[in-house]
Amino acid sequence: MKKTVLAFSRVSPEMAERLQQDFNVIVPNPKLGDMNAQFNDALPHAHGLIGAGRTLGREQLHSAAKLEVVSSISVGYDNYELGYFNERGIMLTNTPDVLTESTADLAFALLMSSARRVAELDAWTKAGQWKRTVEASHFGTDVHGKTLGIVGMGNIGAAIARRGHFGFNMPILYSGNSRKTSLEQEMGAQYRSLDQLLAESDFVCLVVPLSEKTKHLISTRELALMKSSAILINISRGPVVDEPALIEALQQGTIRGAGLDVYEKEPLAESPLFQLSNAVTLPHIGSATHETRQAMADRAYANLRSALLGERPQDLVNPQVWKG
């Protein structure tokens, strides 16, 4: 008998078709009423779940008695209650590697836009404000040659650092749990404590996963350590930054600006950030290119298929539950 796969976020018709070759597939449909109700009704039948952007743990999964695997179409997995997965022996898979370069591109887009005021001055031009040549009040700040601080030198952090070092001649500082000697050799990156990195960097880029340890890693004290000319970039997870503290720092000029892709509460429908010309606010699009989202879907499909057919999935987050 075919096992059952339930999607917990939108999946493309092509993905659903591929899954149907091996599995019964349930994709909640907004035309058929409440999506959550459809999801909850189907849960007791599901052997596998696939999707992204949903909190899943004890509370949400208690009725999923047959569940063997959750295949997340994301690299981050802070929205899954891993302890509960381990307790139940449910496999969790993610999609690392395939989004590294696109996410690093986006970090740099935010960095450039914040420094050179790209989004702000685009809106200004389109509003018909360009009546004579721009003045110092519209000038930005240079990127090339400035010091780039990477908080969390994993794969994405390293890809951002390479862009800075090789493309923009930026000295690289990094902080995190461990020294990366090969990156120190490759681009002369220098290890710092977080406090030192904050004090020395012109651009601080947050690339740490969200955990109890990194929640509000950047708050009032840390923002005060930064140079008043510095710019904060967050492409990791919103709660890594204490958002009200950041808003205050931006309002008071404690730091020059911020480029944000992630927020404490998403989607961000209303925020004092929208009133701040020194904040660039993007709607969580780090991996949102056609090519990368396709690659992530392919990887998640492969992980799910392997797990349900009894093969060890490539990207098993919790190998301790593997029974193979």
Which ranges constitute the DSSP H helices of 72-193?
82-88, 100-116, 118-126, 155-162, 168, 181-187
159 scored as a contact of ligand 8YV (CB under 6 A): no
| Candidates 132-140, 172-180, 282-290, 310-318; binding stretch for ligand 8YV (CB under 6 A) | 282-290
d(CA 120, CA 123): 5
Residue (50 or 249) nearer to ligand 8YV, CB? 50
Q: Which of 117, 165, 284, 305 binds ligand 8YV (CB under 6 A)?
A: 284
CA-CA-CA-CA torsion sign (260, 8, 40, 210): negative
Sheet holding 279-281, edge to edge: 190-191, 172-175, 148-151, 203-206, 231-234, 257-260, 279-281
Minimum distance from residue 30 beta carbon to ligand 8YV (Å): 17
Of 237, 256, 299, 305, which one is the catalytic site residue? 237
**Is 305 an annotated catalytic residue?**
no
52 scored as a contact of ligand 8YV (CB under 6 A): yes
**Is 221 an annotated catalytic residue?**
no
Are 234 and 258 in contact by the 8 Å Cβ rule? The answer is yes
Of 47, 284, 293, 305, which one is the catalytic site residue? 284
Q: Which of 4, 60, 71, 74 binds ligand 8YV (CB under 6 A)?
A: 74
Number of Cβ within 10 Å of residue 203's Cβ equals 28
Q: Write the burial class of residue 113 (CB in 10 Å: 0-12 exposed, 13-18 middle, 19+ buried).
A: buried
Residue (97 or 248) nearer to ligand 8YV, CB? 97
Nearest to 163 by CA among 203, 129, 134: 203
Q: Using alpha carbons only, give the angle 250, 253, 254 rounded to the nearest 5 degrees.
A: 85
Torsion angle in degrees (nearest 10) through CA of 7, 12, 18, 23:
20
73 scored as a contact of ligand 8YV (CB under 6 A): yes
Minimum distance from residue 287 beta carbon to ligand 8YV (Å): 3
Minimum distance from residue 53 beta carbon to ligand 8YV (Å): 5
The residue whose two tokens read 């960097």 is 201
Residue (56 or 172) nearer to ligand 8YV, CB? 56
**Is 284 an annotated catalytic residue?**
yes
Residue (26 or 99) nearer to ligand 8YV, CB? 99
Residue (76 or 164) nearer to ligand 8YV, CB? 76
Binding site for ligand 8YV (CB under 6 A): 52-53, 73-76, 99, 284, 286-287
Catalytic residues: 237, 266, 284
